Chain A
Amino acid sequence: MRVLPSGGRMWVYVFVGLFLVFLPVFAGDAEISFGIDFMILALAAMALNIIVGQTGLTSFGHAAFYGVGAYSLILLISKVGIPFWLAIIISPFICAVLGAIIGRICLQLVSFYFALLTLAFAELIYIIIHRWYSLTGGDRGLATERIPDIISTPVPYYYLTLFLVTISIITIGFILNSAFGQSIQSVRENRLRAEFVGVNVKLNLLIAFVISSFFTGLAGALYAGNAHTAFPNYAGFMMSGQLLICVLLGGMFYFEGPIVGAFVYVILQTYLIPITEYWPFVFGILIVVIVLLMPGGITSFIRSKFLLFHAKKEKILNT
C-alpha cells in the first residue's frame, strides 16, 4: 500500500482539495452542512482504518471515542468553563488517554476476541454516558451556549473543519508512510514473523490504537462543536457500525478508501431521508449489494473498472 499520492492521484487530491475550499462560494447552507458532516465522518473513518486496514484488527467500539470526544468538548466548555479553542485541543487528548487504557486491556487478545472486547468497552462507555444524569444529562443530551460567535455560523465552521480535518488526514498519511506504519502493516501480514524480526508488536499496536482514538475523538469533538450538543447515541453501537461501514464501503486497503466511503454514506443518508421514511431499508439493501458485488469496496471497484492502468501498475509495485 502506497500512502502518499503521486502522479495522477496527486491531481485528484488537488482537485478535491480545491473543490472543498471553494465549495462555500457557490453552495447553499444545506451543501455546507453536508460538507461538514462528510469531512467529520471521513476523519473518523480514516482514524478507524488505522486499526482495521493497517493492523488488521477489527474494532467494533470506536464510537466510544467519538462519543467521549463529543462529550468532553461540551463538558469542558460548559462545566469547566474553558474556551472552545482550548477545549477542541484538549478533548482528543482525553480520548487518547482513554484509548491507551482500553487499548492496553483489549490488545491482550487477538482477532475476534479483540473485536468483542472493544465492543464491550464501548457499550460500557455508552451506558456510563446514558446513565450519569448529573454529569451528562442522560437521554436529553448535553448542550452548550458558549460556542464563540465567530464559528457559530456554518461557513466559518466549515473552514475550521476543513483545516483540522486536512491537517489530521495529512498527519495520518505521514504516520502510515513512516517506519512505524510499515511495522504495523507487517503485524497485519504476519504477526509471528514481525515478532521474530524484532518488531515490538504490542507496543506498536497500542500506539496505533492511541493515534486512532485521538483522531476519532477529534472528529467527535468537531461534530459536537457543530451541533452545539452531544447525545448518548454518539457513543452507541450504531455509530461504531456506521464508521465500519464507511471503511468497508470505501475499501479498507486504500488510503483514501474511508474518505470515499464516508462520502457515499453521507450522500446516501442526506438524499434518502427526504425521499423515504424507510431510508434504513433502502440503505441496508444498497450495502448488501455493494458487499456482494464489490468485495474490495468502492475504491477498488473504481480502480479496477476505470483506472485499469493504475491498478496494474500498483499491483506490480506491491508484489
Chain B
Amino acid sequence: MNIEMALITLLVGLAQGMLFFVIAAGLSWVFSICNILNLSHGSMAMIGAFLCWTIISVAHSFWAGLIVSALGCACIGIFIEVILLRPIYRRDHIYQFILTFALIYIIQDVIKMIYGAEQTMIMKPSFLMGSVDLGGVMFPTYYFFVIGVGLLIFVLIHWFVSRTKWGRVIRALKVDRDMTSAFGVDVKLVLTGVFAFSCFLAALGAALISPLMAGHIGMDMFFLMIAFIVIIIGGIGSISGCLVGSLVYGVVNSFGIWFFGHWSIAIPYVLLVIVLMLRPCGLMGDPITE
C-alpha cells in the first residue's frame, strides 16, 4: 500500500514538475538572455489560462486552445517588449522590477474586466480522460501526456540552443550583447523573439495546467512564485537546471503534501532557503562571480 502510494505521489510530483518546467523555462530564458527580471511572467501565464478557456468554449477543441492561447500570448509579449521593455534594458534591475510589477496590476485588472471574478475550469480532452493501469495502481493518462509534452519541449529547446544558428546567436548574446551586435546581429529583434517565446511557454504551461486547476484571479502570483523558486533551485539561465529544479520542486512538494498536509505550502520556501544557503547559484548554475 505504502509503496503504491509513494509511486503515485512520485508520478504526480513529476507531472507537476513538468508543468512548472514549461512555465519557468521562459522566465529563466528572459532573465539570462534579456537580462530582465520579469515579474509579470505569472500574469502572462494567467492570460494564457483564461485565453485557453475562452477558445475551448468557443471552438470546442483542446488543441486549438493550447496553440492559439500560446500564440496569442506571444503576440502580447511582443507588444510589451517593444513598447515597454526596450527603453529600460540598460537600466538598473530595480526599474525593470517596478515596471513589470506594474504590469501585474494592469494585467490582473484587465482579466477582471473581461472575465469578472468567476473561475474557469477546462475539461480534459476525451482521449486523455482515462487512467493507465500500473500494476494495480490507476494513474491518469493526462499526467503521462504532460510529462511527455514537458520532455518534448526540453529536448526542442536544448536542440535549438545547441545545434542551430539562432541558438548560437542567443548563446553569444548571453555572453556579450555589444559584441554580438557588432557582428551584425539584429540584437533587438532577437531579444523580442526571446521574450515572445517566453510568453509562449508561459501560456502553454498555464493552458496545460488548466484541466487540473481552475483558472482564477490570483493564479498569476502562484505561477510567479513557483517559477522563481524553480529557476533559483535549478540555477538561473540553465535550461537543464530549470528541468532539474522543477522536478525536484514537484516531487518534494508532492511528498510534502502527503507528509505535512496543512503546512506543506511552506516546504518550497524552506527548500529554496536551504538551496540558496548551501549553493547560491542553484543546483546546475554557474558559480557566482562577484
- List residues of chain A with CB under 8 Å of any chain B CB: 52, 58, 105, 108-110, 112-113, 116-117, 119-121, 123-124, 127-128, 131, 191-192, 237, 241, 244-245, 248, 252, 278, 280-281, 283-285, 287-288, 291-292, 295
Q: Are A131 and B106 CB-contacts (below 8 A) given A113-B280, A292-B87?
A: no
Query: B49-57, B245-253, B269-277: which lies at the A interface?
Result: B269-277
Q: Which residues of B contact A280 (CB under 8 A)?
A: 105-106, 108-109
Residue from the set B88, B221, B228, B276 with the largest chain A CB neighbour count within 10 Å: B276
Q: A278-B112, A291-B102 are in contact. List 7 more A-B contacts (CB 8 A).
A: A113-B276, A119-B228, A131-B262, A245-B98, A252-B94, A280-B106, A280-B109
Q: Are A105 and B277 in contact (CB under 8 A)?
A: yes
Judge if B161 is at the interface, Cβ distance under 8 Å.
no
The reply to whether B269 and A123 form a contact with Cβ atoms under 8 Å apart is: yes
Q: Cβ of A283 and Cβ of B288 under 8 Å apart?
A: no
Judging by beta carbons under 8 Å apart, are B97 and A58 in contact?
yes
Asked if B94 and A288 make an inter-chain contact with CB atoms under 8 angstroms apart, the answer reads no
Q: Do B113 and A287 touch across chains, with their CB atoms under 8 A apart?
A: no
B67 within 8 A of A: no
Q: How far is the CA of A112 from the CA of B290 in the complex (A)?
A: 11
Q: How far is the CA of A192 from the CA of B289 in the complex (A)?
A: 13
With the chains together, A127 CA to B222 CA distance in Å? 13
Cβ-closest 6 pairs across A and B: A284-B105, A281-B109, A284-B106, A287-B102, A280-B105, A284-B102
**Is the Cβ of B108 less than 8 Å from the Cβ of A110?**
no
Closest residue of A by beta carbon distance from B101: A241
Partner pick for A116 among B110, B232, B270, CB 8 A cutoff: B232
Q: Is the CB of B269 within 8 A of A127?
A: yes
Q: Would you call B27 an interface residue if the criterion is a C-beta within 8 Å of the partner chain's C-beta atoms?
A: no
Q: Are B228 and A128 in contact (CB under 8 A)?
A: no
Bound Cα distance from A116 to B97, whole angstroms: 12
In the complex, chain A residues whose CB is within 8 Å of the CB of B290? 110, 191-192
Contact of A288 among B99, B228, B276, B288 (CB under 8 A): B99
Contact-residue size bin, chain B (C-beta under 8 Å from the other chain): 35 or more
B88 touches A120 (CB 8 A): no
Residues of A within 8 A of B101 (CB): 241, 244-245, 287
A113, B269: Cβ atoms closer than 8 Å? no
Residues of A within 8 A of B110 (CB): 281
Residues of B with C-beta under 8 A to A237:
221, 225
Question: Of the candidates B91, B98, B221, B280, which one forms a contact with A287 in the assembled complex, judged by CB atoms under 8 Å apart?
Answer: B98
Question: Interface majority SS on A: helix, strand, loop or mixed?
Answer: helix
Q: How far is the CA of A245 from the CA of B94 in the complex (A)?
A: 10
With A116-B276, A278-B109, A280-B105 as known contacts, state yes or no: A248 contacts B232, CB within 8 Å.
no
Whether A123 and B109, one on each chain, are in contact in the complex, defined by CB atoms closer than 8 angstroms, is: no
Q: Determine how close the nearest CB of chain B comes to the CB of A246; give it in whole angstroms.
A: 10
Q: Are B98 and A248 in contact (CB under 8 A)?
A: yes
Asked if B269 and A124 make an inter-chain contact with CB atoms under 8 angstroms apart, the answer reads yes
User: In the complex, what distance in Å separates the CA atom of A281 from the CA atom of B281?
Assistant: 36
Task: Judge if B259 is at the interface, Cβ distance under 8 Å.
Answer: no
Pair B265/A127 contact, Cβ less than 8 Å: yes
Cβ 8 A contact of A117, one of B105, B109, B273, B288: B273
Shortest B275–chain A CB gap in Å is 10
In the complex, the answer to whether B263 meets A131 with C-beta atoms within 8 Å is yes
Known: A131-B266, A284-B102. A112 touches B93 (CB 8 A): yes
- Give the distance in Å from the alpha carbon of A20 to the alpha carbon of B236 in the complex: 47
B37 touches A112 (CB 8 A): yes
CA distance A124 to B266 in the complex (A): 6
Judge if B79 is at the interface, Cβ distance under 8 Å: no
A106 CB to closest chain B CB, in angstroms?
9
| Chain A residues near B104 (CB-CB < 8 A) | 284
Whose C-beta in chain B lies nearest to the C-beta of A291?
B99
Whose C-beta in chain B lies nearest to the C-beta of A236?
Answer: B221
Inter-subunit contact A120/B272 (CB<8 Å): yes
B84 CB-CB contact with A under 8 Å = yes
Is B95 an interface residue when CB atoms closer than 8 A count as contact?
yes
Asked if A121 and B273 sit within 8 Å, CB to CB, the answer is yes
Closest approach, in angstroms, between the C-beta of B5 and any C-beta of chain A? Answer: 24
If the complex has contacts A278-B113, A285-B106, are A127 and B266 also in contact, measured as CB distance less than 8 A? yes
- Which A residues are CB-close (under 8 A) to B105? 280-281, 283-284, 287
Q: Does B103 contact A (CB under 8 A)?
A: yes
Q: From residue A264, how far is it (CB to closest CB) to chain B in Å? A: 13
| Whole-angstrom CA separation of A252 from B94 in the bound complex | 10
In angstroms, Cα B272 to Cα A184, docked, is 28
Is A292 a contact partner of B84 (Cβ separation < 8 A)? yes
Q: With A112-B93, A131-B266, A295-B91 in contact, do A123 and B102 touch (Cβ < 8 Å)?
A: no
Q: When the two chains form their complex, are residues A248 and B94 in contact, meaning their CB atoms are under 8 A apart?
A: yes
Cβ contacts under 8 Å, A245 to chain B? 98, 101
Nearest CB to that of A117 among chain B residues? B276
**Chain B residues, Cβ within 8 Å of A128:** 266
Bound: A281/B103 CA distance, A:
9
Contact B94 A52 (CB under 8 A): yes
A293's nearest neighbour on chain B, judged by CB, is B87
Query: What A residues does B112 contact at CB under 8 A?
Result: 278
Contacts of A248 in B (CB 8 A): 94-95, 98
How far apart sit A288 and B98, CA to CA, in the bound complex (Å)? 8
Within 215-270 of B, Cβ neighbours of A (below 8 Å) are at 221, 225, 228-229, 232, 236, 262-263, 265-266, 269-270
Partner of A120, one of B84, B236, B263, B276: B276
Closest to B225 in A: A123
The answer on a CB contact under 8 Å between A244 and B84 is no
Shortest CB-to-CB span from A13 to chain B, Å, is 27
